[in-house]
Chains A and B, each alone.
Chain A
Amino acid sequence: MSERAELLLGIADDELVLGWRDSEWTGIAPFLEEDVAFSSIAQNEIGHARALYELAAQELGTTADELAFDRQPEEYRCCRLVELRLPDWEHTIARHWLYEEADAARLERLKASDDPEVAGLAEKIDREEVYHRMHAQMWFDRLKDEPRFVAAVDELRPLIDVRDGHSPELTELWEQMTEVRRSQPAGTTW
């Protein structure tokens, strides 16, 4: 696999898995407005994943759906941070903020890429991520003096760079995520 495809898949997997985890708050976020907002962020992340998978799929001669759902859990390239099932809001916001910070730096690098397709997609994604960052920063500013939040940030921060091997939680998530697709014969069109 080319370096480019590996790069695209790594980011796409991060966005898909994080989008899936964030969507677990739909219906149970702390209050209604935040429920709508956070669900929308989750949807955006999955939209970004699709665009990234599509770009990789063109190169690899496959489809976005196959890349997203037909690989085995150990083939995913997402970082440890996004795969965890987080039980509370302070950890969720800590992850959201840490991820957006790291994602911003990554998008800046991609926007400067010599590859016009990669740079163009990064531009597009970044225009939505601006709002995610605003959202993450608002929450950060609000919670930054809460000891529970500070502890959650410290606890999760190192996990953003862990990409070798996955936690069992990714396998659990993969089983849920691909359940419907696996229940149908291969080659089913959706």
Chain B
Amino acid sequence: MIYEVFRQERKGQAFQHAGSIEAPDEQFAEWYAREQYGRRGESTALWIAPREALHPIEDFVDELNRNYHRVDGYPLKEKLKEARERASRAAAGDR
């Protein structure tokens, strides 16, 4: 059985995926997870879940390419450059 282990580094922080372990049952999984992700004080808590218990989602449909839903669709760098150029032209015209 494959178990996925998540660890929390400090109280209040989000859990992050630590790694996967192979173990015959949950009890062994707990022991191995403690050993690999908790023994050196590197975690305040662990979550262990059988891989099958996780519900993966891997398909994200975007048939109409609606990239305006995404924050990265807005090219701020180019726009800033243009604005700077306009500003400096305007400043030169003033003189």
Contacts and interface: CB of A to CB of B under 8 A. Distances in A.
Interface of A: 31-34, 36-37, 40, 131, 134-135, 138, 142
Contacts of B31: 37, 131, 134-135, 138
- The secondary structure that dominates the A interface is helix
Nearest to A41: B35
B28 A32 contact: no
26 contacts: A31-B22, A32-B22, A33-B21, A33-B22, A33-B23, A33-B28, A33-B32, A33-B35, A33-B36, A34-B32, A36-B32, A36-B35, A36-B36, A37-B31, A37-B32, A37-B35, A40-B35, A40-B39, A131-B31, A131-B34, A134-B31, A135-B31, A138-B27, A138-B28, A138-B31, A142-B24
The interface size bin for chain B is 10 to 19
A120 to B, nearest CB: 22
Contacts of A134: 31
Contacts of B28: 33, 138
B49 to A, nearest CB: 16
Most buried by A among B22, B27, B28, B35: B35
Contacts of B24: 142
Q: 6 shortest A-B CB distances, which residue pairs?
A: A33-B32, A37-B35, A138-B27, A33-B21, A135-B31, A40-B35
